[in-house]
Each structure stands twice: as C-alpha cells, then as structure tokens.
Amino acid sequence: MIITQKKPVEEVMALVADAKTVAIIGCGSCATACQTGGEAQIAELTKILEDAGKKVVATTVADYCCMNLGVKSKMKPLNAANPDCVICMSCGDGVQCVAKNANN
C-alpha cells in the first residue's frame, strides 16, 4: 500500500482557478484506506469546489487508479462530461494513469 496525503485546499483551488467545470476521480484502494480519495473525500471536495463557484460535472472511484484497464473504463463518463479539468485523488502512479486516459 502507498500512503497518500491531502494537498492543502488552497493549493487545489489555485490549480483549478481557471476551470469552470471539474471532474473528480478517486481511488478505491490506497487513497480510500488513507481517507484521502474515497467517496467521502470526493463528496467533501465537491462541496468545497461548488461553494467556490465551480461546477462538478462528474465523479467516480476507480478500484485502483494505478491500473490502466480499470481507469480507462472509469474515465469514459468523466471525459464525456467534457470538464475543464480533472482532479485525481490518488497516489502519483494513479495520477499518471488518469492523465493518460483523460481527454486533452
């Protein structure tokens, strides 16, 4: 298992500052176990983003964000929502896998 930790909210908000629409993908493995990227944390971040005027257009949790095949199928509805950006709540391997499967 990889230990993950949350970025400060201010840092996340700075990264999505220009985005009007956001999609969020979490990880059902390590990040869920560390309470940094499971369903509850996605709901928490969704509220923060929406309170800041962002529109969260899609959310999902992949079983393992670091496994391409599972991420590929989970990214289809997120990509279909055509967000300005995607937030991945996982380890670095998961972020790389999600980035490979996100519309550019």
pLDDT the model gives residue 91 = 93
What's the gap between Cα 8 and its chain centre? 15
pLDDT of residue 2: 84
* Domains, in order of start, for the chain: 9-101 (3.40.50.2300)
User: For the whole model, what pTM was predicted?
Assistant: 0.94
Please list the pLDDT of the chain residue by residue as tens digits (104 residues). 788 899 999 999 999 999 999 999 999 999 999 999 999 999 999 999 999 999 999 999 999 999 998 999 999 999 999 999 999 999 999 999 999 999 86
Sequence letter at residue 26: G
Provide the pLDDT for residue 56.
98
pLDDT of residue 104: 62
